[in-house]
C-alpha cells in the first residue's frame, strides 16, 4: 500500500472533555490487537496524549500542528509517521472547529482533517441528553461541507433505554452510529494542573488504562465499519517528510556564535557553494564528525517532538537520552544538551537532590557547549525552583503560579544563539503555570509578536532557554545550526 493512501480516521468532538482521548486511544489499541500496524497522531501541540497513543499502538505518537509547522507540512509529517502502517488514527484537539485564536480554522481539527482528506468520527458526550444529540450532530456535520463527518460514537451512555432513544433520534441526522460506550471508571486517567498525568509518571497504571480503553472500544464499536470508513480517505499528493532530505535542502547555518571571551571564530568549516552530498543528504564532513547530544527524559522531562531527535541525528548527532532524576552525570562525551518540557515543578526536590548532575550541567555550560532548553528546561537551568536549588546557569528564580499561561505565539529571535540567528521567525506554543523572574536576560531569546509584544527567555554563552515550545520541522536549520555549534564549542 502506498503511504499516501494509508487508511485514516480523525477522531473529533464538539468540545473538550467529550471522550476523544478515550476513543482515539481505544481505537488504536483495538486495531493493534487485531494485528494491524497503527500510526498514532495528535492534532495540536499537546505532548501528553501521544504518550498514551504510543502505549496503545507500539509506535511513536506524533503531532500534526498546522500553526507550529504550517499547513503545508501536515500531510508530509503525517506520511512520515504513517510509513508502513495499515491504518492511522488522528486524535483531534478541543472542539472540531476550534483553532488558533483569531486565525479562523487554522490548526483546528477540521482544518487538519481537510488537509489529510480524512473522514471524521464525532465523539458525542451523550450524558444528560437524548434527542438533542441529533441536532448537535446535524449542526457539526453540516457546518463545513468540506469536512466529512462519517460517523458518530456516543460516549457515556447510561442504559439500554438511553441508547435506544439516541439511536432513534440520530436516524434522522443522516450520520451513522458506529459505536456506543457506557460510563466506565476504569478508563479514566488522572489529571493535574496541565492536563493528564504523563505515561512516564504512571506507566503500570497507564498500561492498565489503555488496555481498558481498547477493551471498551472493541466491545462497543463497529471496528469493521470504522476501518471501512478509514479506507475511504482520499490519497494525498505530497511526499513524506524526511529529516535528511529537508536538511539537505535547507541553507547551511551561519558561522557558530562565539562564546563570550573566546577567540574569534576561524574560517568556515565548509567551502562556499554546494558540497557533495552523501545518499542520506548529509555532507561527508557531517558523517565523519558525529557529536553526542544528550536529551533529557524520564518522568520530569517528557515533552519532546520525535522529529527533533530525528533532525539532530540527520545533522550528524548521536542523540543519547538520560534521566535527570536518576543519572548523576551526563552521557560520556556530551557536546550539547537538549532539555525539553515536562514537570520539574512536581519533582523539584528530587532534581535538586541530584547535585552531581546539576554541577555537570553547569560545567558543560561554562565550557561553552550549546544547550537548548524549553519551558521545563528553562526552570531547571534557573538558580532555584520553588526554593529548591537548580543548576544555577541562569540568574533567575522560578516558582509555581495560580495563573495558567496558554496559547500560540508568533515569535522572532532577538539574539544570535546556538539555535537561530537574530531575525529568525518561528511559531511557538506556551503552556505553563510557573513564573520565572526576571522573564528575560540581557540578551533575550525571543521577541513575542502576538498576542502581546514582549521579549522573553535567555541567550548566554551557548544557552538558549525559553518558555516557548517550537517544532523544529518548521525550521530544520535550527537542528543543523545546533549540531554545528556542538562541533565547534
SS3 308: helix
* Helix, strand, coil % over all residues of the chain, rounded to 5: 35, 25, 40
Residue that is written with C-alpha cell 496541565 in the block: 194
Cell output for 137:
450532530
> Length of the chain in residues, anyone?
489
Please give the C-alpha separations between residue 122 and each of 17, 143, 443, in angstroms, as whole numbers. Answer: 13, 13, 47
Query: Which residue is catalytic, options 69, 85, 221, 375?
Result: 375
Catalytic site includes residue 382: no
- What is the number of H-type helices and E-type strands within the chain? 15, 22
Buried-exposed string 438-447: b where 16+ CB fall within 10 A, e elsewhere: eebbebbbbb
Closest CA to 86 of 43, 45, 35: 35
Residue 428: strand pairing partners: 409, 470
Residue 86: all three cell numbers together:
495499515
Phi-psi category of residue 329: left, alpha or beta, with phi > 0 → left and psi -120 to 50 → alpha: beta
Which of 83, 105, 103 lies closest to 92 in space, CA to CA? Answer: 105
Contacts of 159 (CB under 8 A, 6+ apart): none
Distance between CA atoms of residues 475 and 484, nearest Å: 15
Rounded CA separation 259/160 (Å): 69
**Selection from 63, 151, 152 nearest residue 109 by Cα:** 63
| Catalytic center residues | 375
Amino acid at each position: 500500500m502506498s503511504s499516501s493512501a494509508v487508511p485514516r480516521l480523525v477522531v473529533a468532538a464538539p468540545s473538550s472533555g467529550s471522550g476523544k482521548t478515550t476513543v482515539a486511544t481505544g481505537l488504536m489499541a483495538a486495531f493493534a490487537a487485531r494485528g494491524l500496524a497503527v500510526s498514532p497522531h495528535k492534532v495540536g501541540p499537546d505532548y501528553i496524549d501521544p504518550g498514551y497513543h504510543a502505549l496503545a499502538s507500539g509506535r511513536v505518537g506524533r503531532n500534526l500542528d498546522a500553526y507550529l509547522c504550517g499547513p503545508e507540512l501536515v500531510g508530509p509529517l503525517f506520511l512520515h509517521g504513517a510509513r508502513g502502517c495499515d491504518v492511522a488514527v488522528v486524535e483531534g484537539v478541543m472542539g472540531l472547529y476550534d483553532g488558533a485564536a483569531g486565525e479562523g480554522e487554522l490548526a483546528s481539527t477540521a482544518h487538519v482533517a481537510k488537509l489529510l482528506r480524512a473522514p471524521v468520527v464525532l465523539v458525542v458526550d451523550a450524558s444528560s441528553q437524548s434527542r438533542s444529540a441529533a441536532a448537535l450532530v446535524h449542526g457539526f456535520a453540516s457546518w463545513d461541507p468540506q469536512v466529512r463527518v462519517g460517523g458518530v460514537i456516543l460516549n457515556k451512555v447510561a442504559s439500554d433505554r438511553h441508547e435506544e432513544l439516541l439511536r432513534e433520534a440520530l436516524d434522522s441526522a443522516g450520520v451513522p452510529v458506529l459505536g456506543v460506550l457506557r460510563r466506565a471508571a476504569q478508563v479514566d486517567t488522572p489529571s493535574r494542573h496541565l492536563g493528564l498525568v504523563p505515561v512516564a509518571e504512571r506507566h503500570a497504571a497507564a498500561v492498565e488504562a489503555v488496555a481498558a480503553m481498547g477493551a471498551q472500544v472493541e466491545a462497543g464499536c463497529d471496528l469493521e465499519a470504522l476501518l471501512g470508513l478509514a479506507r475511504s480517505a482520499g490519497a494525498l499528493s505530497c511526499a513524506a517528510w524526511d529529516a535528511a532530505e529537508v536538511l539537505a535542502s535547507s541553507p547551511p547555518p551561519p558561522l557558530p556564535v562565539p562564546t563570550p571571551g573566546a577567540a574569534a571564530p576561524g574560517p568556515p568549516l565548509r567551502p562556499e557553494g554546494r558540497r557533495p552530498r552523501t545518499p542520506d543528504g548529509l555532507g561527508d564532513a557531517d558523517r565523519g564528525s558525529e557529536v553526542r547530544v544528550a536529551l533529557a527524559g524520564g518522568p520530569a522531562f517528557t515533552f519532546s517532538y520525535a522529529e527533533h531527535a530525528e533532525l539532530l541525528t540527520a545533522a550528524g548527532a548521536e542523540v543519547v537520552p538520560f534521566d535527570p532524576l536518576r543519572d548523576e552525570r551526563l552521557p560520556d562525551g556530551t557536546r550539547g544538551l537538549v532539555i525539553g518540557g515536562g514537570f520539574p515543578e512536581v519533582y523539584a526536590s528530587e532534581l535538586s537532590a541530584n547535585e552531581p548532575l546539576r554541577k555537570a550541567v553547569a560545567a558543560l555550560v561554562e565550557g561553552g557547549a550549546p544547550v537548548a532548553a524549553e519551558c521545563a528546561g528553562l526552570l531547571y537551568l534557573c538558580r532555584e525552583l520553588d526554593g529548591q536549588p537548580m543548576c544555577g546557569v541562569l540568574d533567575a528564580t522560578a516558582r509555581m503560579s495560580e495563573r495558567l499561561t496558554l496559547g500560540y505565539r508568533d515569535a522572532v529571535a532577538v539574539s544570535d544563539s546556538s539555535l537561530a540567528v537574530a531575525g529568525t521567525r518561528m511559531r511557538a506554543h506556551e503552556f505553563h503555570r510557573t513564573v520565572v523572574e526576571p522573564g528575560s536576560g540581557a540578551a533575550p531569546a525571543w521577541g513575542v509578536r502576538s498576542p502581546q509584544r514582549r521579549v522573553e527567555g535567555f541567550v548566554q554563552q551557548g544557552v538558549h532557554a525559553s518558555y516557548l515550545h517550537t517544532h523544529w520541522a518548521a525550521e530544520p536549520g535550527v537542528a543543523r545550526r545546533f549540531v554545528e555549534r556542538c562541533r565547534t564549542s
